[in-house]
Amino acid sequence: MCGVRHSTLETSTKKTPTKGDGKTPTKTAPKSTEEKQAVSALNNKKKLFLKVKTPIKKKSKRKAQRKSTDPDSNMTETENDPEEALKTIKVNEIKLEEIDQDYYKKKAISASTVGSFTKARWLNSPVSLKPFLDRTSDQTHSQRFWSEVNLLSSVQHPNIMQFLGACTELPDRCFVFEWLDTDLGTAIEKNHQALSNHFVSIAKDVCRGLLRLHSIKPHAVFHRDIKPENVMLTKTYKAKLTNIVTPEKEAMVFGTFRYRAPELCDEQSDQQVAYTSKADIYSYGSLLYELLTGGKPYHELNDSSTQLKSYKKEKVHPTLPDRVPMKWREILNDCWSEPEKRPETSALLISLRSVNDTSSSRTPFL
């Protein structure tokens, strides 16, 4: 019996070679009934497999159709589900009850057109709270909140105020940052003389933070409100940018008028000028003026002065005191030149590296 089976196998093996002179075998039709039956069984299995799969495809198609009729179908699942958004953005979710309410301060330590900070305590350490002003459950507001969380999470840098996490539950949504004792504007106003040994390091720190924003890919982030009040200082005079304007607020924020680039100050113009990094550079120059001199740009004029508006329209820049060293003067004039002539942020940082603290007077230049 074994011999018969062996003979059959040998016979089958001899039939496998195909036509041709040693070339690659080509497909041929089955030559035996058994082979035909085997191929037929295989084809039946394939058909059965396709029949089983087809309802699944239709089901997913119907699901997609239901999703397209949803009014929120233009949003991703993570935007519709805050919990999923948290996982995607990887933000540290902080419960409001974890924050010690007794440390809340009514007086803000830094204020701007886009919000203010309040001191609180979290994990036995002081922190800065910035409330999210849009506190309704509206879907658009929710998108704005998560957009801001995403931005703050993506711009971490030694010269940008550290974002620690967010309270995500309505109606108490807020952002939690590291606590810094003061802002540059307050430091200049209270004791400008104390900053005189740190002019260069502060100027570089602010420029590095700005460079981080302008280097973000695929789309650069513009601060849109560069001024001393939006720069926080550590106890060792390390400077950090804060109050970065989110994309959703871009159409509403063009910076504080006194520090704003002239091309953005024509309120009567029918054409809206696009905000670019060069507008940030102009505002940076105005911040630098205040850092060096101790006085605000156009300090002789109040904010509502028609003369100030006229100066902006006519592109009259703040007057530099004679005591301002030539290198600083060149940097300021570059920042205040026409938009296309203003330096890129990286080039500006290189210019600042050529300035030494020893070239600066130990007293204010004003």
Domain range 78-178, CATH class: alpha beta
Per DSSP (E only), the strands in the chain are: 99-100, 111-112, 115-116, 118-122, 125-131, 163-167, 174-178, 182-183, 231-233, 239-241
The per-residue pLDDT of the chain, averaged, comes to 76
Residue 328's pLDDT is what? 95
Q: What is the pLDDT of residue 71?
A: 34
Task: Answer left, alpha or beta for residue 237, where phi above 0 means left and psi between -120 and 50 means alpha.
Answer: left
Strand-pair partners of 93: 166
* 270 Cβ neighbours under 8 A, 6+ residues apart: none
pLDDT at 169: 85
Who wins on pLDDT, 123 or 21? 123
In this prediction, residues 327-354 reach a mean pLDDT of: 96
What confidence tens digit (pLDDT) does each residue in 343-352 have? 999 999 999 9
Residue 13 has pLDDT above 50, yes or no: no
- What is the phi/psi pair of residue 182, to 5°? -155, 165
The domain made up of 182-358 has a fold known as Transferase(Phosphotransferase); domain 1 (1.10.510)
pLDDT of residue 267: 65
The Cα–Cα gap between 143 and 63 comes to 24
pTM, entire model: 0.71
What number is the average pLDDT over the span 240-262?
Answer: 79
Is beta strand 115-116 parallel, antiparallel or unpaired with respect to 111-112?
antiparallel
Q: What is the mean pLDDT of residues 6-11?
A: 41
More reliable by pLDDT, 85 or 140: 140
The 8-class DSSP code of residue 71 comes to T
Residue 337's pLDDT band (boundaries 50, 70, 90)? Answer: very high
Cα 254 to Cα 260: distance, rounded to the nearest angstrom:
7
Please give the average per-residue pLDDT across 74-88, as a whole number. 45
Q: What is the pLDDT of residue 241?
A: 97
- Between 68 and 215, name the one with better pLDDT: 215
Tell me the chain's radius of gyration from C-alpha atoms: 33
Question: Please, which residues bridge with residue 163 across strands?
Answer: 177
Q: What is the pLDDT of residue 14?
A: 46
- Look at strands 118-122 and 125-131 and give their pairing: antiparallel
- State the CB neighbour count (10 A cutoff) for residue 314: 8
CA dist., res. 255 & res. 260, Å (int) = 6
Worst-scoring range by mean pLDDT, 142-146, 196-200, 248-252, 257-261? 248-252
Q: Which residue has the higher pLDDT, 109 or 146?
A: 146
What's the average model confidence in pLDDT over 260-273?
A: 74
Q: Considering only 155-169, 284-298, 347-361, which range has the smallest mean pLDDT? A: 347-361
Domain ranges of the chain: 78-178, 182-358
